[in-house]
Chains A and B, each alone.
Chain A
Amino acid sequence: QITLKESGPTLVKPTQTLTLTCTFSGFSLSTSGVGVGWIRQPPGKALEWLALIFWDDDKHYSPSLNRRLIITKDTSKNQVDLTMTNMDPVDTATYYCAHYYASVFDYWGQGTLVTVSS
């Protein structure tokens, strides 16, 4: 059974750096073809893909947010971190991590709401 759970601060100030952790179980991020992605959703709005890391440490980023994002993994801990710099109120959203396989995000965490406010 694949499960994922996001954790991190619920409130950050503008210009601060956000780091979120995705802790997962039921799969290994050392298995060929497997990845973990991050997707966010502002309140009442649509989904936006942010970043994706693969079993071989290949990393992909949203072109529009590329300069602000860093994704890393710790295979031994079954964790993936997402760091986003220079946070702004427009970055207020629920942040999801998701299991990725065969090009789709097939299992999602419950999400964590991050509010950016001074």
Chain B
Amino acid sequence: EIVMTQSPATLSVSPGDRATLSCRASQSVRINLAWYQQKPGQAPRLLIYGASTRATGVPARFSGSGSGTEFTLTISSLQSEDFAVYYCQQYNNWYTFGQGTKLEIK
């Protein structure tokens, strides 16, 4: 099983600032990596797939990068609605999720 490790567990950022979230795979997943956003009491929402392609309707302030084992989700200028938990997920070999990064208001 491919293990996905996200860091940090919690990230405190001020509105308007940039947030950088990391995800590491225990073995190469090429670019078969997705990012999801989850708000309390809601289902996850697909943000990024193919490591860097934004899903339909996702604002341009969200961007993904990386390949192989190291990936990054960047939110360029945090809005109030962006404070949530973010999960990475690999789909190169079955489907496994990271443990999540909670993005909180500083």
**Across the interface, do A104 and B94 meet the contact criterion of CB distance under 8 Å?**
no
Chain B residues 74-106 with CB under 8 Å of chain A are 87, 89, 91, 94-100
**Across the interface, do B94 and A106 meet the contact criterion of CB distance under 8 Å?**
no
Contacts of A37 in B (CB 8 A): 95
Question: How far apart are the CA atoms of A102 and B32 in the complex, in Å?
Answer: 11
Q: Is B17 an interface residue (CB 8 A)?
A: no
**Across the interface, do B43 and A108 meet the contact criterion of CB distance under 8 Å?**
yes
Contacts of A64 in B (CB 8 A): 1
Across the interface, B87 reaches (CB within 8 A) one of A46, A60, A63, A103, namely: A46
Q: Is B45 an interface residue (CB 8 A)?
A: yes
Can you name the residue of chain B whose Cβ is closest to the Cβ of A45?
B99
**Across the interface, do A106 and B46 meet the contact criterion of CB distance under 8 Å?**
yes
Question: How far apart are the CA atoms of A45 and B32 in the complex, in Å?
Answer: 23
Contacts of A63 in B (CB 8 A): 1, 94
Question: How far apart are the CA atoms of A62 and B1 in the complex, in Å?
Answer: 10
Question: How far apart are the CA atoms of A48 and B44 in the complex, in Å?
Answer: 12
**Across the interface, do B96 and A104 meet the contact criterion of CB distance under 8 Å?**
no
**Across the interface, do B97 and A60 meet the contact criterion of CB distance under 8 Å?**
no
**Given A60-B94, A63-B1, A103-B91 in contact, is the A108-B99 Cβ separation under 8 Å?**
no
**Across the interface, do A46 and B43 meet the contact criterion of CB distance under 8 Å?**
no
